[in-house]
Amino acid sequence: MKILIVLSVLLTLSSAKVLSRCELARIVKNSILVDFTEYKVADWVCLAYYASGYSTLAVQYERDCKGKIWSGDYGIFQISSKQWCADAMFPNGTNECHMNCNLFLNENTNLQTDIDCAAVIVNQQGMQAWPSWVDHCKGRWIDYYTFFCFW
């Protein structure tokens, strides 16, 4: 049984797409996220680095004090099921992006659903909606996240 569990975890990890910072920078640069002029491409790349390590299949679950899973964060920007998406596991969030949370899990570089929901989030709350951005990127010199990416 333990072998099957380890094997399934390894197969899942091996199918994950981990983008480079420049791949993500190019995707963001060519998206609607640049319309939010108070933020730079480097803000989005920094957020993704600390939120998901640039993994398009990243999922993190929050547990209550008894260990019961009560919400999840999905995809490269770690979009929360508490407010922004819903699925069979978390059907009771407010789902303000009107999307299934699993749409944020990609095995390729198609991040359109992640970007569309991130635009809704930043339009409503700014990047302060992401604690990882506040803790690691806000007010810091982060331009190095996009150095040598736009030839």
Q: pLDDT at position 71, please?
A: 92
Amino acid at 64: D
Which two three-digit tokens encode residue 27? 């995707």
Query: What does the pLDDT look like over 22-73, one tens digit per residue?
Result: 999 999 999 999 999 999 999 999 999 999 999 999 999 988 888 888 899 9
8 A C-beta contact, residue 81 and residue 99: no
Q: pLDDT at position 66, please?
A: 86
| Residue 31 forms part of a structural domain | yes
Q: Is residue 13 predicted with pLDDT exceeding 70?
A: no
Q: Is residue 8 predicted with pLDDT exceeding 60?
A: no
Q: pLDDT at position 138, please?
A: 98
| Residue 45 forms part of a structural domain | yes
Q: Is residue 9 predicted with pLDDT exceeding 50?
A: no
Give the 3-state secondary structure of residue 79. strand
| Residue 9 forms part of a structural domain | no
State mean pLDDT over 72-89: 95
Q: Is residue 89 predicted with pLDDT exceeding 50?
A: yes
| Residue 89 forms part of a structural domain | yes
Q: pLDDT at position 151, please?
A: 52
8 A C-beta contact, residue 105 and residue 99: no
We report the CATH number of the domain holding residue 91 as 1.10.530.10
Split into its structural domains, the chain has a count of 1
Rounded Cα–Cα distance for residues 37 and 29 (Å):
12
Domain that holds residue 21: 16-145
| Residue 85 forms part of a structural domain | yes
Which two three-digit tokens encode residue 48? 């993704």
Please give the full DSSP string across 111-123, using - where no structure is assigned.
-HHHHHHHHHHHH
